Structure 1
């Protein structure tokens, strides 16, 4: 009986010490798609709980005329840099939940840049305006099996348009909303 109790005590100490060593992965790479685009991303470890996410992809937009049906769409390139703090990894490990692939809840500062490199659209005479947004975001990321992931996030922040010579902007600074639901594949 003493040996069994001693074994359980040692196992308990081992589990507790493992929960204090929870960490984001050194590097993780994947592809995600959602309602409004497709993206390729990499997350690089900065500390045990902080990762830097870099992302390149295509964002989708739609246009609606006179409050009626969707009349147009566009695809434009997007570059994103996002430090993420995965704040609940230790709690997830202590409850025997997965943290591989940086599976956990996070708080981030999502910085997104839409350059005017090219635009794929069905609209005529579309003049795309370059913008940058900085959005504090709360989100979750979870794994399904070994390689599939899903992610959801919400945030409100600042949006700035870079004015062109032939464009007049009214109330230049604007509010940016980050509301995303994505599914992906992790390599």
Structure 2
């Protein structure tokens, strides 16, 4: 069921077009991009819902660090699909101060949901088919016209086969975005 829900939401968010014209003090109606960090690579789309809210769909490859009961640490990579509801709460204030808000460059609060898909090569080690939900604070800033970086910090819950695991959520990413307007 979660596969169907995530695929449905990803299709909607990449295919929908908002009828509202982009205004300088609002989030942009559609931003596509690619980001990379220390632990993976992701393609994303942000769909503007109103002046400050976007729905961000993401697909990529995540690296995960696992510490077992035997104190062995394992680093695994797995495909991931994610859906975030982001509130860019200070985008209007940044625009009023003359700062770039292109591609939604602002501070945000987010509810992140992600689903790590099973990697067959790691089946014997860990069950990676796990949903994850987190609350986080982040910021996105532009580096020139087409590049950006994001930093994020929060906490969430990973839902395992038999348990729920409190999990920190950290990200540091640099990327390219297709939108090249400069608000």
- 1:186 corresponds, among 169, 177, 181, to 177
Give the structure 1 partner of residue 100 of structure 2. 98
Counterpart Cα distance in 2 of 1:113 and 1:76? 10
8 A Cα contact 1:86 1:105, kept in partner: yes
CA RMSD of aligned residues (A): 2.2
Give the structure 2 partner of residue 107 of structure 1. 109
8 A Cα contact 1:76 1:120, kept in partner: no
Give the structure 2 partner of residue 57 of structure 1. 60
Give the structure 2 partner of residue 36 of structure 1. 39
- 2:85 corresponds, among 83, 87, 92, to 83
8 A Cα contact 2:27 2:53, kept in partner: yes
User: Tell me, which stretches of 5 or more residues in structure 1 are unaligned?
Assistant: 1-19, 164-168
Show structure 1 runs of 4+ deviating over 3 A.
62-68
Q: Which of 58-67 and 137-146 deviates more?
A: 58-67
Partner-residue secondary structure (3-state), 1:100: coil
8 A Cα contact 1:75 1:119, kept in partner: no
Tell me: CA distance 1:24–1:181, structure 2 relative to 1, closer, same or farther (3 Å). Answer: same
Give the structure 1 partner of residue 166 of structure 2. 175
TM-score by length of 2: 0.77
1:139 aligns with 2:131: no
8 A Cα contact 1:131 1:160, kept in partner: yes
Partner-residue secondary structure (3-state), 1:38: strand
Return the offset for 1:125. Answer: 3.6
Give the structure 2 partner of residue 45 of structure 1. 48
Return the offset for 1:61. Answer: 2.4
Partner-residue secondary structure (3-state), 1:90: helix
8 A Cα contact 1:139 1:152, kept in partner: yes
Larger CA Rg, structure 1 vs 2: 1
TM-score by length of 1: 0.75
